């Protein structure tokens, strides 16, 4: 009976370690996690720090030089901002297909930085939301 007990403890430890490995592997390899990781690779150091702290990052439009803030999300998450960082106009444009937020945000970043006029020509405009509406968005 003692020999069986000695075998069970290491087996339990190995099983626990294996479960933890699977949990970490699948947690870090979900589509959403992969999308955030790809987005992070494309962000500048400043944008990456801004995104980590605030769940948004700023980009400069290639045609007008205007600043846009891209919030975590898949739609109605781009805001034109003034020098004080206040939203002046909202823009909704997304790539085709069902994509996770990180992939959508990366497409929006690239579109504004390489073809701002084309992106905004396709976008729907909307009045900017109040600060409290952004405060209550679902965390990731």
Q: How confident is the model at residue 43 (pLDDT cuts 50, 70, 90)?
A: very high
Model confidence over 104-121: pLDDT tens digits? Answer: 999 999 999 999 999 999
Predicted pLDDT at 71: 97
Residue 18: pLDDT band with limits 50, 70, 90? confident
What percentage of residues in the chain have a pLDDT greater than 90? 69
At 37 the pLDDT is: 94
pLDDT at 15: 75
Q: Which residue has the higher pLDDT, 15 or 7?
A: 15
User: Residue 3 burial by CB count (10 A; 0-12/13-18/19+): exposed, middle or buried?
Assistant: exposed
Q: Which residue has the tokens 């690779």?
A: 41
Whole-number average pLDDT of the chain: 87
What pLDDT digit, counting tens, does each position of 20-32 carry?
Answer: 776 776 667 889 9
Q: Is the dihedral of CA 106, 108, 111, 113 positive or negative?
A: negative
Q: Which residues, at least 6 apart from 33, have a Cβ–Cβ distance to it below 8 Å? A: 27
- Find the angle CA(137)-CA(88)-CA(91) to the nearest 5 degrees: 65
Tell me the pLDDT tens digit for each residue of 68-80: 999 999 999 999 9
């Amino acid at each position: 009976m003692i020999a069986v007990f000695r075998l069970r403890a290491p087996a339990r430890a190995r099983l626990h370690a294996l479960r933890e490995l699977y949990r970490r592997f699948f947690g870090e390899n979900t589509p959403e996690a992969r999308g955030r990781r790809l987005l992070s690779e494309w962000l500048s150091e400043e944008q990456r720090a801004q995104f980590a702290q605030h769940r948004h990052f700023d980009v400069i439009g290639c045609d007008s030089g205007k600043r846009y803030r891209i919030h975590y999300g898949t739609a109605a998450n781009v805001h034109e901002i003034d020098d004080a960082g206040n939203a002046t106009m909202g823009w909704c444009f997304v790539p085709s297909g069902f994509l996770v937020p990180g992939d959508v945000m990366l497409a929006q970043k690239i579109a504004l930085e390489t073809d701002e006029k084309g992106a905004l020509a396709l976008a729907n405009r909307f009045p900017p939301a109040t600060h409290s509406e952004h405060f209550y968005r679902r965390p990731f």
